[in-house]
Structure 1
């Protein structure tokens, strides 16, 4: 069982690397979908079925498909072949270092008992769905509001980017049409 867990964890890491290294944005979204599916399998192996199914429904079923449709509508397939991606390495390195430092701070502070990561002690009396719902909708409701605002802005942005502002009027000029008919006959 542990081998299967490490296999899917390795797949998540490889898929995440492929998301940022794929030159074609559509391939990048496909790798993102594979990463989400592998992460969902990890949640199933950890016996958190509800989160795994929500992960599949929300991320794979909604957000990744939204990305795919936006990329297809914007016609971002026209990319340069063989372009140099090394100018993105410093920004990626800085973000990676910040992420690593944040993870280390959380691990060290939990070991020093600055805050408790064991907030789910009272969930044992309830099913997974009831306990998760109580925690998410009471303690983390503001995160749902922020996520809904981000999705609203993304939806409005996709609509604005794909909306054509040029209106080509196709009016008929009756004088030209009648004169054409008279001239042809």
Structure 2
């Protein structure tokens, strides 16, 4: 079990490095899909199946495929794409080391290192629902209002107010033509 964890963690790390180092943006999205699949496998190993499957459905099935279609439609292979990006390496290395130290310090300071012992054994969906609808209910409501406003904004921006410009069907004319053809 521990070997599988390290295998998927190494796969996610290598795929993440390939996402930012691939010269083709299509290859970068394909490596991103591999990162999502490895992360989902890690969630399954941690017995968080609900999050793992939602991760697969939302990120791999929707977002990554959307990225892939957008990249293919925009044809992002113009001048300047795939140039030498080695001048960004020092800044990326520094940021990566800072994130690594933050992750290691978080691991060592979280409840004295014995936080897995404090987690109760309950179904994942029940725990997720309990936390979401009790502790974070106000954030859940705010997120739903933000999505509602975004949906209304998209409808307003795409709504065409010219009724006379619309093409429509006149049911009476269609029925009368059909009756005229069958009788004649």
Coarse TM-score class (shorter-chain normalised): 0.5 to 0.7
Kept after mapping to 2: 8 A contact 1:26/1:77:
no
Q: CA deviation at 1:112?
A: 5.0
Could you say which residue in structure 2 is the equivalent of 1:129?
125
The alpha-carbon deviation at position 109 of structure 1 amounts to: 2.8
Q: What SS class does the counterpart of residue 62 from structure 1 fall into?
A: helix
Q: 1:74 & 1:3 partners in 2: Cα distance?
A: 41
Match of 1:89 in 2: 89
Q: Hey, what's the Cα distance between the residues in 1 that align with 2:43 and 2:136?
A: 20
Runs of 4+ in 1 over 6 A off after TM superposition: none
RMSD between superposed Cα atoms in Å: 3.1
1:99 and 2:99 equivalent?
yes
Cα separation, partners in 2 of 1:57 and 1:108, compared to 1, 3 Å: same
Q: Tell which deviates more after alignment, 83-92 or 28-37.
A: 83-92
Question: How is 1:39-118 mapped onto 2 (pairs within 5 angstroms)?
Answer: 39-78=39-78, 83-110=83-110, 117=115
Structure 2 residue aligned with 1:161: none
Instruction: Map 1:2-13 to 2 at 5 A.
Output: 2-13=2-13
How far 1:6 sits from its partner (Å)? 1.9
Change (3 A) 1:137 1:69: farther
Structure in which a larger fraction of residues adopt helix: 2
Cα offset, 1:94, TM superposition: 2.9
From the superposition, tell whether residues 70 and 30 of structure 1 become closer, same or farther in structure 2 (CA, over 3 Å). Answer: same
Distance 1:131 1:111 in 2: 20
Q: For the residues of structure 2 that align with 1:9 and 1:128, how far apart are their CA atoms? A: 22
